[in-house]
Amino acid sequence: MTMTETGERQADLILTNGTIVTVDPERRVLDRSSVAVADGRILEIGDATELQEKYKFAEILDCAHKAILPGLIDLHGYVGWSIMKSLGEGLDNAGIRDLYERILSQLTDEEWWLVEAQMCALDRVKFGTTFMFSMIGGNGTRTDDPVFTRLAARGLAQVGIRARLGIGPARPPWPRLYSRWHDGVKSDQEIAFETVIDNCDKLLGEPRDPSGLVEYCTALSRFGNRNVHDPVWSEDREQWVHRQAEAIRHLMKKHNVPFWTHAYGNAVEYAYDEKLGLLGPDTILSHCTDLPARAIAIIKETGTSVGHQPRIYRVINHDCPVIEMLDAGIAVGLGTDTPAKNAADLFLDMRAAMLLQRVRFRDARVLPPGKALEMATIDGARALGLEQEIGSIEVGKKADMITIDLRQPHLYPPDMIPMRLVTNGSGNDVNDVVIGGRIVMRDRKMTTVDEGAILDRAFGLYRQTIQRGSLQGMTKLRDGFWNASRF
């Protein structure tokens, strides 16, 4: 460990002379200030001149005319949908799910999952996200073989993003058909439920990623109970509810890992009344549309957290009671959901969350910009159980930070900066990204990977997948795209 001239710990990196939006307990905004970093954590926050003089040998990241924020936290993503983004526009939810389930479970190979994870990470890092949760595939969950999860974890770590990968069985019924590709030749295999659970057990028992960036948790598409609000409920799936819940509980207890799932309508009450054992401080429920008051009370009672995705199709005609949950003291973070339809830009989700709740209540005072920023940072960290580690700029926390270029017309003059960033900013304004004290993006250039090479590989895999699946028709603009009020 390097020491200063006065015998104090030496900094490795200083983000200097910026406006720090700390999101700390006092919600301080510090002008012309710096953040010193050592061994991946925040060492000191203070006056720019003083810190630069104190830590003379530290690497300097000049943040003049920039805001320094905590890295953003995305509670809902999908490794599996970045390469094939935009396919299925105009399809209903069921059509999109069926399309991507087929792509992921029958048309992809090992190289595809490595590059897909790299693309998913690049997409988020360049928009300012430093931590993401993701299922391995979502529709078409690839836990039929541990290799796909291992490759995805490798791809995420190579880019340098912090991530939690949710693994578990795909939606029932079982067995399910999966395809493997070797040298362009496809082979099909039926995979049993027990095989998938064994694979998850193996993955959860493996040594953790040496970079410390990627971890695993358990995940289900949903509880699976009879539910008129669940867009994929069917009677043949209901018989699997208790069996999959028992398997997930076993994995959670054995490996001491958290749990993630979608929840709609009566799902929360059902899980509580049936004692599925899947609600609690280690659980994040995503979407949470059409929840009655009793469900909100159960979420509060059990200490369960919520991820809100305000730009997905489902919220168009199904309300998420964000304000009621916030008023109850529930940790509610934000997620971008699938890149198949939306850019992975959490600045857009901050504004969308505000707009939806203001329209819902017919009240422009609802969900202030500061709360939206909290949802994308410290509240997301609370939901993950990581609020002591990430989500704000505080001494001792992991050094996950982003800088925003303020010297642009839509963000100038540089006043009321936290509000300006939420109401006017975008992920494209992110200039630098630091994760674990490492600069992974500088002046919008990735320092960890060859971005151009990844993009080229992704394009090749995209074309290969289109060819394999005879999906050429899906790449054409649908009738009604132009000169029509609806598809």
pLDDT tens profile 263-322? 999 999 999 999 999 999 999 999 999 999 999 999 999 999 999 999 986 666 789 999
pLDDT at position 237 is 79
Residue 229, C-beta contacts closer than 8 angstroms, at least 6 positions apart: 264, 265, 266, 267, 289, 290, 318
91 — pLDDT class (breaks 50, 70, 90): confident
Q: Which residue has the higher pLDDT, 336 or 313?
A: 336
Per-residue pLDDT at 2 exceeds 90: no
pLDDT at position 7 is 60
pLDDT at position 366 is 98
Indicate the average pLDDT of the chain.
Answer: 94
pLDDT at position 229 is 77
Query: pLDDT by residue (tens digit) across 223-260?
Result: 988 888 777 777 777 889 999 999 999 999 999 999 99
- Structural contact between residues 443 and 432, judged by C-beta atoms closer than 8 angstroms: yes
Amino acid in the structure at residue 405: D
Q: According to the per-residue pLDDT averaged within each range, which of 180-189, 209-218, 435-444 is highest?
A: 435-444
Here the tokens at position 217 are 């948790």
Unique residue bearing structure tokens 């949470």: 288
pLDDT at position 243 is 96
pLDDT at position 4 is 57
Beta sheet of 72-79, edge-to-edge order = 72-79, 129-136, 162-167, 214-220, 259-264, 283-289, 305-308, 332-334
* Gap between the Cα atoms of 236 and 224, Å rounded: 10
- Structural contact between residues 433 and 399, judged by C-beta atoms closer than 8 angstroms: no
Cβ-based neighbour number of residue 296 at 10 Å:
19
Per-residue pLDDT at 151 exceeds 90: yes
Strands 66-70 and 401-405, by their bridges, are: antiparallel
Average pLDDT over every residue of 19-44: 98
- Structural contact between residues 135 and 78, judged by C-beta atoms closer than 8 angstroms: yes
Proportion of the chain above pLDDT 90, given as a percent: 83
Per-residue pLDDT at 1 exceeds 60: no
Average pLDDT over every residue of 119-124: 97
Per-residue pLDDT at 133 exceeds 80: yes
* CATH assignment, 72-384: 3.20.20.140
pLDDT at position 6 is 59
Query: pLDDT by residue (tens digit) across 101-112?
Result: 999 999 999 999
Question: What predicted TM-score, i.e. pTM, was given to this entire model?
Answer: 0.96
Average pLDDT over every residue of 321-332: 98
Per-residue pLDDT at 3 exceeds 70: no
* Domain spans in the chain, listed from the N-terminal domain onward: 72-384
pLDDT at position 78 is 87
The sign of the torsion formed by the CA atoms of 31, 73, 279, 285 equals: positive
Per-residue pLDDT at 5 exceeds 70: no
95 — pLDDT class (breaks 50, 70, 90): confident
Average pLDDT over every residue of 9-26: 97
Per-residue pLDDT at 157 exceeds 80: yes
